[in-house]
Amino acid sequence: MEKAAANGFSIGLGLTNECNLACAHCYRDTDRIDRLTLDDVRRVCESVPVRSVNLGTGENGLHPEFHAILQYLRERGTTIALTSNGYTAAVLSDDELRIFADIEFSLDFTTEREQDSWRGPGSWRLVLDQTERALSLGVPVTIIAVMMRTNYAKLPDLGALASRLGANFRVNVYQAVKTDAFSLNYEQFWTGFQRLLESCPLAVCNEPIVRALLGFEAQAGGCGKGTIRVTPKGQVLPCVYWPKRNLSLTELEKLGPTIVDSPAFRELDQIPRFCANCRFVQSCRGGCPSRRLLRGGLDLPDEFCPFATKKPVPSFDGRPESLRQFPKAGSACTTVFGAQQHERHKG
């Protein structure tokens, strides 16, 4: 806790769950519209040392106080990143867009027809237009995709598209927060990563099992250690996908940085008994805790573990090429691939 507190936390703020789209694989709560207020954001920032803030969950541009919240974070000198389907970037001025250290745009398919069919008409063109705009202003861009059973084989092509655009490429594995319909099976998970690692330059890999089999050491920080998530309802979580809702902003104000030592956060440290003697246990820690809890329980090893499933152990090679700092890289089970072309777009 001392190291995280000294360096500051990566804060994920879900300012709102409102969105202009209704994507089938989205994890956000759609039962009602909830919002964090500017005062709520102040409470968060005054409770813990903040290293960076990522604005995600819904489309922040639909929040009535979004511009005021952005200005507050700017005045604090906070490093800010944004995850968007393109809508929020489009409603920002050029001056506001330049505030961001990184803007992530969501693309899950490699063609306009597939993307618009999945997310809605105009989705593809909006992302491409806003990517070009952000890069022309010198703002780094990352294309983010969710690896699902519907697109896992196409992700290398999406990575190539991101590279051509001058953007980096980040991949999250689908989490069954609402439905299992898009979950990967064992073969799809490893096929997806094998193809990505063969075709895209790796920058960061924090997907626990993949990281372990690549031979990387244990990750410092991460979910429940160096990151704190706050939902639009004001719930405080160790991971954006964590299904338990035990803490609120009141507890965050009371506990401050020691919230990461609370039972609700330390629960993520649980390692399945099966994994205790595994040679990868220090780097893998049993796999993604949110996935384990969502798919059966924390006492179970990750479903993509070849040793637990007794399935073939994947073979691949990947050496991270650290291109720059990625605001989301240390705060999620995620993988980032770089684009060398990115530099030419900076002003």
User: Concatenated DSSP letters for 221-288?
Assistant: S-BTTTEEEE-TT-EEESSTT-----EEHHHHHHHGGGGGGSHHHHGGG---GGGTT-TTHHHHTTS-
Q: pLDDT category, 319, cuts 50, 70, 90?
A: low
**Rounded CA separation 119/114 (Å):** 9
Question: Which residue type, as a one-letter code, is found at position 232?
Answer: P
What per-residue confidence (pLDDT) applies to 244? 84
Tell me what the pLDDT averaged over the chain comes to: 88
What per-residue confidence (pLDDT) applies to 164? 94
Query: What is the pTM for the complete model shown?
Result: 0.90
**Rounded CA separation 241/294 (Å):** 9
**Rounded CA separation 80/72 (Å):** 11
Residue from 261, 232, 330, 256 nearest 44 by CA:
256
* Three-class DSSP category at 297: coil
CB proximity list for 334: less than 8 A, separation 6 or greater:
170, 171, 172, 204, 206, 207, 328
pLDDT of 2 above 60: no
Q: pLDDT category, 321, cuts 50, 70, 90?
A: low
| 227 phi/psi in degrees, rounded to 5 | -135, 150
Kindly state the DSSP code that residue 345 receives in the 8-state scheme: G
Domain boundaries, the chain: 2-267+313-340
pLDDT of 233 above 80: yes
pLDDT of 329 above 90: no
Give the CB-side neighbour count of residue 58, counting CA atoms within 13 A: 25
Which residues does residue 81 pair with via DSSP β-bridges, in sequence order? Answer: 54, 102
Q: pLDDT category, 315, cuts 50, 70, 90?
A: confident
**Rounded CA separation 44/260 (Å):** 14
| 64 phi/psi in degrees, rounded to 5 | -65, -20
In which element (H, E) is residue 339 found? none
What per-residue confidence (pLDDT) applies to 31? 75
Average pLDDT over residues 63-72: 96
Tokens found for residue 138:
């010198």
Specify the fold of 2-267+313-340: TIM Barrel (3.20.20)
Beta 202-205 vs 79-84: how paired, if at all?
A: unpaired
**Rounded CA separation 121/45 (Å):** 37
Across 62-66, 265-269, 326-330, which has the greatest mean pLDDT?
62-66
Burial label for 320, CB within 10 Å (0-12, 13-18, 19+), is middle
**Rounded CA separation 347/334 (Å):** 29
More confident residue, 274 or 3: 274
Judge contact between 59 and 87, C-beta under 8 A. Answer: yes
Q: Round to the nearest angstrom and report the end-to-end CA distance of the chain.
A: 38
Q: What is the pLDDT of residues 7-22, one digit of tens each?
A: 789 999 999 999 877 7
Kindly state the DSSP code that residue 122 receives in the 8-state scheme: T
DSSP for 83-126, please give it.
EESSHHHHTS-HHHHTT-SEEEEE--SSSHHHHHHHH-TTHHHH
Q: What is the pLDDT of residues 118-164, one digit of tens each?
A: 889 999 999 999 999 999 999 999 999 999 999 999 999 999 999 99
Q: Cα dist. 43→50, 75, 146, 253 in Å?
A: 12, 15, 31, 7
Beta 235-237 vs 247-248: how paired, if at all?
A: antiparallel
CB proximity list for 219: less than 8 A, separation 6 or greater:
206, 208, 211, 283, 330
